[in-house]
Amino acid sequence: MATAAEPRPAQLPLPGGTEGATVRLHPLLCARMACPPGLLHRAEGRLAGLRALGVGVAREEWPEIPVVAFAVEHPGAGLLLVDTGFHAAVAVDPAQGMGRLGGLVFKDLRMDAGQAVPAQLRERGLDPGAVRAVLMTHLHADHASGISQFPDATFLVSSAEWEAAADGGQTDGYLRRQFDHAFDYRLLDFDSAATSSYAGFGRTLDVFGDGSVRVALTPGHTAGHCSIVLRLPDREALICGDAAYTERTIAETALPQRMADEHRFRRSLREIQRFLEQRPGALAIPGHDMAAFRRLDAAYGRPG
Ligand SMILES: [Zn+2]
């Protein structure tokens, strides 16, 4: 379907690459919401599909899940983001966050105005206007809602994800009004000559050409989902995005209820597992795991 945005091919590497660069990670908790347990990890049984939508599941059994984004400081390229969380308006009107259909499944969305990414950047002494690049794991509502807050940034998204979102609708988890702006969208082509395998991942792109930030194609949750590998000073970090909702997804190959493509999801999860086998010191950051996020925040969040 036609879009207002006119995405162009990404030209990698982006400027600012610095040999041996490491990046600083700021985990950002943008909101929390309650989610039916069967949606995170699919169950067996005749009523599993209904229970995954929360039907017949007592509210006390619904885990609270985080909605997250990440600020990344690169020594040569400046400030970038991974995903955008919810727009500040969602703090005032939570029903906007997941859209009409999403609101039927995800309950008790809680977000303070201070949890919008621009406010969180300012609180850390970072200028939202200085965000040069935003790497999108995918364009689902809880990742893309905040896009309009960064009109001057370059957005990197896989070409498969852009096509899926442009053709998709609410039943696929996409809200077009969140992402279809005439912004600088750049599509990542994982069939290009710049693509290489990296530590268990079959197809990755090196964003700055210095190995500090790599985008790995991990489709399955959505058609063009990506995960991000960061080189921190002390270890590597893997922002899984929704290729793994939780640590249990990774440890037990516990599949979610909904996947755009189960075969590809399994293959991407296997690549994540292989990466972690090959990089035993690496930190895996799942997409929607509150306990894991709390530990991440304790290790890499603001001091004090
Ligand atoms: Zn998603």
In-domain check, residue 3: no
Instruction: Please name the amino acid found at residue 192.
Output: S
Structure tokens at 225: 């989902």
Structural domains of the chain, count: 1
Express each pLDDT in 209-224 by its tens digit: 999 999 999 999 999 9
Q: What angle do CA 303, 135, 110 make, to 5 degrees?
A: 55
pLDDT at residue 62 greater than cutoff 50: yes
pLDDT of the residue at 117: 98
What is the whole-number distance in angstroms between the Cα of residue 172 and the centre of ligand 1? Answer: 9
Q: Please, which residues have CB within 8 angstroms of residue 294's CB and are 6 or more apart in sequence? A: none
Q: Is residue 33 part of a domain?
A: yes
Assign 176 a pLDDT band (cuts: 50, 70, 90). very high
Q: What DSSP assignment string belongs to 31-45? A: EEEE--HHHHS---S
* 1 inside domain: no
pLDDT of 102 reads: 77
At 233, which CATH number? 3.60.15.10
Cα 138 to ligand 1 centroid, rounded to whole Å:
7
Span from the CA of 221 to the centroid of ligand 1 (angstroms):
7
Whether 51 shows a pLDDT value over 90: the answer reads: no
Q: 218 C-alpha to center of ligand 1: Å?
A: 12
- The answer, yes or no, to whether residue 111 has pLDDT greater than 90, is yes
162 φ, ψ to 5°? -60, -45
Q: Using the mean position of ligand 1's atoms as its centre, give its distance from the Cα of residue 140 in Å.
A: 5
pLDDT at 80: 98
300 alpha carbon – ligand 1 mean position (Å): 24
Percentage of the residues of the chain whose pLDDT score is greater than 90: 84
In a domain, 2, yes or no: no
Using alpha carbons only, what angle is made at residue 225 by residues 70 and 240, rounded to the nearest 5 degrees?
A: 45
Q: What pTM did the predictor assign?
A: 0.96
CA 143 – ligand 1 centroid, Å = 7
> Peptide bond before 13: cis, by omega within 30 degrees of 0?
yes
Give the Å distance between the CA of 20 and the centre of ligand 1. 32
CA distance linking residue 162 with residue 45, whole number of Å: 35
Specify if 68 maps to a domain.
yes
In a domain, 116, yes or no: yes
Categorize the per-residue pLDDT at 303 as very low, low, confident or very high, splitting at 50, 70 and 90: low
Residue 238 has pLDDT above 70, yes or no: yes
Question: Ligand 1 center to residue 174 CA distance, Å?
Answer: 9
Could you tell me the residue range of the domain that residue 272 belongs to?
8-300
Phi, psi of 233 (to 5 degrees): -60, -35
Please name the helix (run of DSSP H) or strand (run of DSSP E) that holds residue 15, with its range, or none.
none
Beta bridge partners of 283: 237
Of the given ranges (47-56, 76-85, 125-134, 171-180), which has the lowest mean pLDDT?
Answer: 47-56
| CB 97 within 8 Å of CB 144 | no
